[in-house]
Structure formats: structure tokens, C-alpha cells
């Protein structure tokens, strides 16, 4: 410092953050918003600082690295999922369906809706959330896992089968959503379905089955397809 009253860069950055009302929730929300608009490659400390009107150094109070920012985006997704479950009650349980099964369907649908609201962030759910994270800090993630495992225990599964069913449940939802969000159109302005999907680029001799099936594969199953797969999964693990 030139004298006792002049603050250094780090102090000025922290002051800017405080004056701007910066906090961990706001940083996470801004990171998710940036990813929603421009994709994961756009997220950096410097860019997020610009979005929030502060120096990048100010963000280190709330996320110590780019990796921590990505974890914060995951936490925001799970927090939104939790909010959906609280504020949007599901449909009435179909006659004859156990309550645990209906609730797992509701969780899966809320996860589906959350992923479709934030498609650019979906890869993080598959790559940054451990299968069993007993010591991972984000409470919303832990509550989600606890919620699903508790329902599987209510279904009568022991620890080993609950763990296997939990992993299958998670893998099906994330895999299904990832396929649903994957672009399949080669030329959106082409009226002919085969040309729109680019099937003319596939060899009829080498890939005849793929050419014949591609149009059906390109159709989106939506929530109904998600539910069908879940029921098949439940029938595999549960003997009612």
C-alpha cells in the first residue's frame, strides 16, 4: 500500500462483492444462467465475474476454482429439482400402484423437467456426481439420494439391492434424458424426413438396419418413454 488507507486489489474485489450483495447462492445461480445461455465452455471465473460486475478474485470466497463452480452448477440443479418436488405435487397415484413406486415416478419426472430446462448443464450430472457421496458437501444432492434410497427400502429391498436399484434408476434417467437432448437432425429446413436426418449419408450396404430404424430412433419418447423404462426397471428389482 502507498499509505495506510489505500486497499490492495484483493481487498477492493472483496469490497465490490460485498457492496453488490454477492453470496454463494447468487454465484451459483449466475453460473447456471451463464451455462444455460452459452454452454459449459463459457463458464470461467473471469467471465462469471464480469456477469456479476465484480473482479474474478472476489469469487474465490464462494468457489475456490473452476471445478468448484461446476460443482455449484450441479448443486443448483439439485436445488431446483427439490423445489419442483415441493411446489409441484404429482398426479394422483394410479389404482393398484404402491405409493413408493408412484413417488419414484414423480421424482423421475421432476428430474426430466429440470434437465430439459437446463440442457447444457446435463452432462455435469453424469460426470460430477459420485454414485455414493456420503461426504460430498451439497446438501441438495445428498437429500436427493436419501429420498430415492428411502423409497427403495420402503419397497422391501435390502442394502445391496437398494444400491443396485438406485444406480439403475439414476443411470436410466440420465441416459434417457441425454438421448432425448441429443441433436439428430442434419438439415432442419429439409422437408423430406430421410434427408432431414441425413440418412443419405449412410451406406445402404453397410448400415441397412440403421437406415431403416433411424426415423423411429429420431422420435422423442418424452415423459411416457421415461415412465415405461422405469416400470421395466422396477419390475426387474421388485417382486410384488
- The DSSP annotation for 108-148 comes to HHHHHHHHHHSGGGHHHHHHSS-SS-TT-S-HHHHHHHHHH
> Could you tell me which CATH number the domain at 1-64 has?
1.10.10
Question: For residue 78, which of 42, 28, 5, 43 has the smallest C-alpha distance?
Answer: 28
3-state secondary structure of 157: coil
| pLDDT bracket for residue 187 (50, 70, 90) | low
Instruction: Please write the tens of the pLDDT for every residue from 70-89.
Output: 988 999 999 999 999 999 77
Q: Ramachandran region of residue 163, left (φ > 0), alpha (ψ -120 to 50) or beta?
A: alpha
CA distances from 177 to 54, 86, 182, 202 (A): 35, 22, 9, 25
94/218 Cα distance (integer angstroms): 30
Q: Which CATH class is domain 74-237?
A: mainly alpha
Number of alpha carbons in the 13 Å side-chain half-sphere of residue 83: 8
Determine the pLDDT at residue 217: 61
66/237 Cα distance (integer angstroms): 39
Instruction: Please write the tens of the pLDDT for every residue from 79-128.
Output: 999 999 999 776 677 788 899 999 999 999 999 999 999 999 999 998 88
Show me where the domains of the chain are located.
Answer: 1-64, 74-237
132, burial (CB in 10 Å: exposed 0-12, middle 13-18, buried 19+): exposed
**218 has a pLDDT exceeding 70:** no
Amino acid at each position: 500500500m502507498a499509505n495506510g488507507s489505500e486497499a490492495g486489489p484483493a481487498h477492493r474485489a472483496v469490497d465490490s462483492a460485498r457492496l453488490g450483495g454477492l453470496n454463494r447462492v447468487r454465484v451459483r445461480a449466475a453460473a447456471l444462467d451463464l451455462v444455460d445461455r452459452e454452454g459449459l465452455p463459457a463458464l470461467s471465473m473471469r467471465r462469471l465475474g464480469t456477469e456479476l460486475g465484480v473482479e474474478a478474485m472476489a469469487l474465490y470466497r464462494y468457489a475456490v476454482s473452476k471445478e468448484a463452480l461446476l460443482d455449484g452448477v450441479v448443486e443448483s440443479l439439485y436445488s431446483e429439482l427439490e423445489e419442483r418436488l415441493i411446489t409441484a405435487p404429482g398426479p394422483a397415484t394410479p389404482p393398484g400402484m404402491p405409493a413408493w413406486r408412484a413417488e419414484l415416478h414423480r421424482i423421475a419426472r421432476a428430474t426430466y423437467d429440470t434437465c430439459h430446462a437446463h440442457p447444457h448443464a446435463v452432462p455435469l450430472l453424469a460426470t460430477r456426481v459420485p454414485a455414493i457421496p456420503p461426504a460430498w458437501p451439497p446438501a441438495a444432492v445428498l437429500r436427493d439420494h436419501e429420498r430415492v434410497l428411502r423409497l427403495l427400502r420402503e419397497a422391501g429391498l435390502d442394502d445391496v439391492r437398494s444400491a443396485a436399484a438406485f444406480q439403475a434408476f439414476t443411470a436410466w434417467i440420465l441416459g434417457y434424458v441425454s438421448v432425448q437432448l441429443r441433436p439428430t437432425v442434419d438439415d432442419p429446413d429439409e422437408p423430406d424426413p430421410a434427408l432431414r436426418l441425413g440418412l443419405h449419408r449412410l451406406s445402404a450396404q453397410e448400415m441397412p438396419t440403421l437406415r431403416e430404424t433411424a426415423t423411429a430412433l429420431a422420435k422423442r419418447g418424452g415423459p411416457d418413454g421415461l415412465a415405461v423404462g422405469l416400470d421395466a426397471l422396477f419390475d426387474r428389482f421388485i417382486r410384488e
